[in-house]
Amino acid sequence: MAVSTNNAYGKISISDLAIARVTAHTAAESYGIVEVASAERRLSKGISKALKNEKWSRGVNVTIANNRIYVDVSVVVKYGVSIDAVADSLKEAVKYKVEAFTGMIVNTVNVSVVGVKL
């Protein structure tokens, strides 16, 4: 599914994959985040190596309903950081960047911490 909007020049459609890539890139740049990884990290390692194109969208699930965007992102955090602070910061950054990118409202950003690395 895609987010669609109209302006004076015509219709604009933005795919879920494009939104997922913006989210993953935002997470990768965020302080305290070591990597973006799917919740099924162990099972998907071999699969993700085979699917190089999925590098910037794995670990991110985008759902669109009623012109609202819902984002779920799974991350591995750095040992010693405040998980609450890192998750809150990531939520705000994803909401801001996806809304700026799409021009649509991000209703929810859910962060799942699936691991910790030194």
Tell me the per-residue pLDDT of 97-108, one tens digit each, with 9 for 90 and over.
Answer: 999 999 889 999
Residue 49 lies in a domain: yes
Which CATH number do you get for residue 81?
3.30.70.1350
Residue 9 lies in a domain: no
Tokens 């890139």, residue located: 25
Q: What is the pLDDT of residue 71?
A: 96
Residue 109 lies in a domain: yes
Residue 78 lies in a domain: yes
When divided into structural domains, the chain yields a total of: 1
Q: What is the pLDDT of residue 55?
A: 58
Q: What is the Cα gyration radius of the chain?
A: 15
For 88, other C-beta atoms within 10 Å of its C-beta total 12
Per the structure, the complete domain to which residue 24 belongs is given by 15-117
- In this prediction, the residues of the chain whose per-residue pLDDT falls under 70 are 1, 39-57
Q: What is the pLDDT of residue 39?
A: 59
With H, G, I as helix, E, B as strand and everything else as coil, classify residue 57: coil
Tokens 């691991």, residue located: 115
Tally the residues of the chain: 118
Residue 3 lies in a domain: no
Q: What is the dihedral of CA 94, 98, 99, 100, to 10 degrees?
A: 110
Residue 73 lies in a domain: yes
Query: Whole-prediction pTM value?
Result: 0.81
- The fraction of the chain above a pLDDT of 90, given in percent, is 61
Residue 19 lies in a domain: yes
Residue 10 lies in a domain: no
